[in-house]
Amino acid sequence: MIVGEFFSQQPTLFCNHIKDIVVQNRMVFPNQNLKSNLKKNGRMRSSSKENNRAISGKMFELHNRLHHAFNLALNRYNDDPGRKWQFTDIETQILVVRSIDAFLDCMTTDTLEHPLVKDSVADMVEALGSIIQLKNEAVLSLALRVAPKMVRNLLKLPSHLLDLVRPLSSLLSSHQLQVSVSCGTALNLIVSNLSSKNENQVWKILDETNTVVHLVSNICDFSSGNKPIQYFEEMASLLSKIMWRWPPSRFCVWNDDKLMKVLEVIILNPDCPLKVAVLELYSAIALCGNGARKLLENGEVLINMMVHCMNNSNSHSVQIEGFKLAQCLSINEQARLQMMKMCCEPIIKAIICVMSSLSIHSGKVARNQLFLSMEACRLALITRWPGEHHNYFWRLGVDNVLVNLLLNNFHKFKQSQHFLSVKEQIVIAQEGLNANFLVLRPFIWDILGWLAAHCNEDFNPEMYGNQLCINILMTCACSAFVDSMHKTCQLHQNDIDYMFKSEPAIRSVLMMINSPCKYIASQVRSILDEVLRLEVKSKEYLKYLLDNLNVMSSGNAFGFPDRRQTVINLMNLACYSGLPQYRKHVIKHQGIKTLLGCIRWCLHNHVHVRRSIMAPHLLNIFHERTCCRAYAEYWEDEDMLLLFGLWGLAELIHHSGCVKSHSDIFASQKDLNETQLISELQKIYIDVSTPGARWYAAYILSYFGYYGFPCKFGKRIGKVLNEKEYADLELILKNEESISVHGIILKVRCPSLLPPEQSAHSEEERHEIEKSERLRKEVRLSARVDRQALSKVLDFVYLGYLEAGVDIVMKLKTIAKRCNLQFLLQMLSRRSAKWGTPIPRFDLTYALGPAGHKFSYSKTIKVPVSWEALVKLCNWFYSGELPKPISGCLWNNLDSEEKVHEVQPYVELCWLADYWLLENIHEECSKVIISCLDSARQLSFKVIQIADRLSQWKLVEVAANYLASSYPRLRDSGALEQLDERLINIVRDAFVQLSQDPN
């Protein structure tokens, strides 16, 4: 009898015989035909290729015992492919679990890659998952003791572990504590090590098994007091990891009032050992904008607790989680402002305290201490936004902390009483750099740059800190800048690691050169000039930058230029352009043309770069999964290339001595004229949304007589500027000349042109005024007011911008100052905006409130739409912006009727827009409706009925297209009978067209 026949007839005897041979000889199965027969009988699945690593005889014995147990449990007679295992009795289940347990005990990292072991994994996972799903109490505790061990051992083969997600998640609500804890432990490991490609599959299972709901219930039940701490830790840890990874999980957590109360009671206990777990939950909740607002409903309690956890009286783990929570709250602008308003000084003290404790170490520090310092540095990046916290950083000695993190033994120099020259400072900076905290250096440069960018003009370093510290910090940054320039010109210029290290330092120098603080800006220019003077090849570096950027902008580069290197080159050139002797060199060698070419290249090729790809120290993969929040506006956002190109161009134009004449700019520029430059810049500040790029485009255009920001709404309002019919005010100038204006617009945009407020009318008097015809008031202005200048200012008030020649600028500045038009005054004075300054909004919605009510004497107009639609319409009339429906988790958790209620006003406004010929609002409403249908196709059935009733045929077609794929189901269920025959035919036609579409 041949081996294959013997195996097929006597499998058990054959396996025992083979086992004896294996144990005696301690060798791998040599016979591939034998393995093939084993595989056919379901006992073992192994790769056809053997690797060179042998496994022990004991492991072979356990392997055979494992597959002997599998053989007993294999269902050979059931043709159903979905049911592989047939556990007929408890003994078989116990045998399988124990065999798996023993085999796992022998597995190591090396043996996991062995084909014999690797090909057994799927059977083990499937078998254990099937046993757990049976929920047999006699076996369950044993199986769940093995499950976490299996997950730990198989983390390198994560795809196999997905089969355990459903059985484990279905048992989280078990009344047996150990069962829930074991399931939580195993799921924690799976979720923590889950790859992005498997995320959707796992979330679908967790959603179907109501995992989040069960976890919330378990945590709430913990408050009964009869459950161990480990139970809460496992449940909370798993819930927080799920929320960090999957935004849809957050709503039912922060929206559960009982849970939020339980967490508050736990965290307020000063001796609570569960602070880390609760802080992790709070941080995950704060990733949702609505969740952050919920947390801050009782903001004072939460913020005080968070600050207390940052205190060094707590363990490092508690401190770290406290800082992480503050970071998550600071992502949302509203939450950050509330947080800093309540506890600004204590938060900054906590940051400085942690950073100071690290700076005193000259050698290696504990891992936890370094992690804590990194989290403190991350939170210190709130310096990117303006606010009172900047003053606290300076008062608490941030300059001293930063310099001690950068330099070894700086305290010796600090104690010296003699004056240090710039050259001495350069020597200290270049020779004393501390190599212990390199991981923190990008944070240090960023913090220094943001502090400089938000300084006040009259900032005096002696007021808050040590002048020497600030000078040394600037010198260190300038030295790092020159070092980066040197490396940029080397053959390894595309070294990503070098780019990551150099970008923060270059940015810091650029921020300081353009700091509003006169001391910092002048001092850093002087230091950088001296550092470059000591560098023999500084002019060669500049030539390299110009040549490199010229090649890129002219399209002669081979392939697509490296975006990271281009960003660094533009930042370097902007720094050079801030120094007089190098600026002349840049202009002489076609620098303006080069930069304009780079700007054109960015726009025409739609090249976008976010800072996260330039500065990995800022990158946190889970922070990218925030939801439902209003983003704190980043000045550069994804337009770093465009911003720094404009920044360099602004430096050149600002310092080229061309305020009175533009000829100086174009004298040395070939193939470039004023008209071309103005046209390109106007496209930017109209078409680009990034605040920083728009500000610098507007700033440059101010040198050509364009001041402000044109917008669609301003253009619409500006149409009434010269219309006297609806004007209710006359501005009387000298010689009795007058200009007709609209009081409501001046009240909102330039109230200083109006007379002082008089006592309010009584209710009766107000009604009388409203019944009478509108009265035209007269306002007499000073004889010194120039009519031409006033007309230009009114252009700005009505349009949002003005055009004016150099000859009238001084008169405009006088009126702008008297009228408190700070933004216009800044533009007329050609002062560049502080980093982070938002684009001024053209908004008249203030007039809708009581302050503007007395200016509205219009007769009553009946508008045949709902109140909700009318509110949105009025907002659009007064701001040019259409209020959007609720979104994010709030929208997703509305029922169908509530969603219809949200969408219906926009359909009504589409009808009204047709009736009143308002094309713009019709287009905007249609976009809103389509976006709602994209996120909730079930709305299409109701929308098609509403749109039909209001004769919105295009919306009927759109809704029919969304219904097309569901036509057979709706037809068979009889749901279509609710529609009239005409609408049914439209849906049917859409279905036929969809069916015929090959795509």
**Are 187 and 298 in a shared domain?**
no
What pLDDT was estimated at residue 363?
A: 61
H or E segment to which residue 803 belongs: strand 801-803
Give strand pairing partners of 778: 730
**Are 914 and 818 in a shared domain?**
no
Judge whether residue 253 has pLDDT over 90.
Answer: yes
Of the candidate ranges 31-40, 711-720, 764-773, the one whose mean pLDDT is the lowest: 31-40
Q: Kindly report, residue by residue over 517-546, the tens digit of the pLDDT.
A: 999 999 999 999 999 988 778 888 898 889
Q: Does 169 reside within a domain?
A: no
Judge whether residue 823 has pLDDT over 70.
Answer: yes
Q: Does 109 reside within a domain?
A: yes
- Tell me the mean pLDDT in the region 195-209: 93
> CA–CA separation, 619 vs 761, rounded Å?
58
What pLDDT was estimated at residue 631?
A: 59
Q: Kindly report, residue by residue over 431-479, the tens digit of the pLDDT.
A: 777 666 788 999 999 999 999 999 988 888 877 767 888 999 999 999 9
Domain CATH for 734: 3.30.710.10
What pLDDT was estimated at residue 868?
A: 94
Q: Which long-range contacts (CB under 8 A, 24 or more apart) does 189-195 make?
A: 189/148, 189/151, 189/152, 189/155, 190/151, 190/158, 190/161, 190/162, 190/164, 190/165, 191/238, 191/241, 191/242, 191/245, 192/241, 193/155, 193/158, 194/158, 194/245, 195/158
- Tell me the mean pLDDT in the region 143-169: 90
What pLDDT was estimated at residue 294?
A: 94
> CA–CA separation, 31 vs 124, rounded Å?
24
What pLDDT was estimated at residue 999?
A: 59
Q: Kindly report, residue by residue over 970-996, the tens digit of the pLDDT.
A: 999 988 888 999 999 999 999 999 998
Mean pLDDT (the chain) is 84
Of the candidate ranges 41-50, 343-352, 573-582, 829-838, the one whose mean pLDDT is the lowest: 41-50
> CA–CA separation, 258 vs 930, rounded Å?
37
What pLDDT was estimated at residue 767?
A: 52
Task: Read off the pLDDT band of 612 (50, 70, 90).
Answer: confident
**Are 827 and 870 in a shared domain?**
no
Most confident of 264-273, 354-363, 554-563, 936-945: 936-945
731 in helix, strand or coil? Answer: strand
**Are 231 and 333 in a shared domain?**
no
Judge whether residue 235 has pLDDT over 90.
Answer: yes
- Tell me the mean pLDDT in the region 82-88: 61
Query: Which is higher by pLDDT, 246 or 466?
Result: 246
> CA–CA separation, 516 vs 833, rounded Å?
9
**Are 666 and 717 in a shared domain?**
no
Q: Does 911 reside within a domain?
A: yes
Give the residue from 250, 270, 286 where a domain finishes.
286
- Tell me the mean pLDDT in the region 893-897: 93
**Are 493 and 429 in a shared domain?**
yes
> CA–CA separation, 487 vs 926, rounded Å?
53
What pLDDT was estimated at residue 734?
A: 85
176 in helix, strand or coil? Answer: coil
Token output for 247: 């935004």
What pLDDT was estimated at residue 19?
A: 42
Total-model pTM: 0.87
Token output for 124: 């083990």
Token output for 734: 């000298």
Task: Read off the pLDDT band of 22 (50, 70, 90).
Answer: very low
> CA–CA separation, 905 vs 873, rounded Å?
10
Torsion of CA 334, 339, 341, 342, to 10 degrees: 140
Distances, alpha carbon 49 to alpha carbons 29, 30, 32, 41, 340, in Å: 12, 11, 9, 20, 63
What pLDDT was estimated at residue 671?
A: 64
Give the residue from 690, 706, 722 where a domain finishes.
706
> CA–CA separation, 719 vs 728, rounded Å?
16
Burial class (CB in 10 A: 0-12, 13-18, 19+), 748: buried
Task: Read off the pLDDT band of 776 (50, 70, 90).
Answer: low
Owning domain of residue 427 = 399-706
What pLDDT was estimated at residue 281?
A: 97
What pLDDT was estimated at residue 117?
A: 82
Q: Say if CB 847 and CB 830 are below 8 A apart.
A: no
Judge whether residue 930 has pLDDT over 70.
Answer: yes
The number of C-alpha atoms within 13 Å of 378 and in the hemisphere containing its C-beta is: 26
Q: Does 162 reside within a domain?
A: no
938: Cα separation from own chain's centroid: 30
Contacts (Cβ under 8 Å, ≥6 apart) of 653: 592, 665, 700, 703
Q: Does 270 reside within a domain?
A: yes
What pLDDT was estimated at residue 269?
A: 86
What pLDDT was estimated at residue 11?
A: 45
Q: Does 163 reside within a domain?
A: no
- Tell me the mean pLDDT in the region 823-842: 91
Q: Does 181 reside within a domain?
A: yes
Token output for 32: 């591939």
Contacts (Cβ under 8 Å, ≥6 apart) of 443: 374, 377, 378, 380, 381, 504, 617
Judge whether residue 137 has pLDDT over 60.
Answer: yes
Closest by CA position to 617, among listed 447, 475, 485, 488: 447
Judge whether residue 145 has pLDDT over 60.
Answer: yes
What pLDDT was estimated at residue 423?
A: 86
Q: Does 427 reside within a domain?
A: yes
Most confident of 2-11, 54-63, 163-172, 970-979: 163-172
Judge whether residue 291 has pLDDT over 60.
Answer: yes
**Are 184 and 141 in a shared domain?**
no
Judge whether residue 759 has pLDDT over 70.
Answer: no
- Give the percent of the chain with pLDDT over 70: 84
> CA–CA separation, 819 vs 804, rounded Å?
18
**Are 945 and 983 in a shared domain?**
yes
- Tell me the mean pLDDT in the region 759-784: 61
Token output for 800: 């949002």
Sheet with 777-780, side-by-side order of all strands: 738-741, 729-732, 777-780
**Are 494 and 616 in a shared domain?**
yes
Query: Which is higher by pLDDT, 418 or 28?
Result: 418
Give the residue from 286, 310, 332 where a domain finishes.
286
> CA–CA separation, 116 vs 51, rounded Å?
10
Instruction: Please give the full DSSP string across 649-675, using - where no structure is assigned.
Output: HHHHHHTTT-SS-SHHHHTT-TT--HH
What pLDDT was estimated at residue 33?
A: 35
802 in helix, strand or coil? Answer: strand
**Are 536 and 670 in a shared domain?**
yes
Query: How many residues can be counted in the chain?
Result: 999
Query: Which is higher by pLDDT, 539 or 694?
Result: 694
Domain count, the chain: 6
What pLDDT was estimated at residue 102?
A: 92
What pLDDT was estimated at residue 9?
A: 44
Judge whether residue 279 has pLDDT over 60.
Answer: yes
**Are 279 and 308 in a shared domain?**
no
**Are 447 and 561 in a shared domain?**
yes
Judge whether residue 898 has pLDDT over 60.
Answer: yes
> CA–CA separation, 115 vs 104, rounded Å?
15
- Tell me the mean pLDDT in the region 481-491: 78
> CA–CA separation, 987 vs 976, rounded Å?
9
Task: Read off the pLDDT band of 48 (50, 70, 90).
Answer: very low
Closest by CA position to 140, among listed 107, 111, 112, 181: 181
What pLDDT was estimated at residue 826?
A: 93
Of the candidate ranges 28-32, 251-255, 521-525, 689-693, the one whose mean pLDDT is the lowest: 28-32
What pLDDT was estimated at residue 47?
A: 39
DSSP tag of 639: B
105-133 core/surface letters (b: 16 or more CB in 10 A; e: else): ebbeeebeebbbbbebbebbbbbbbbbbe
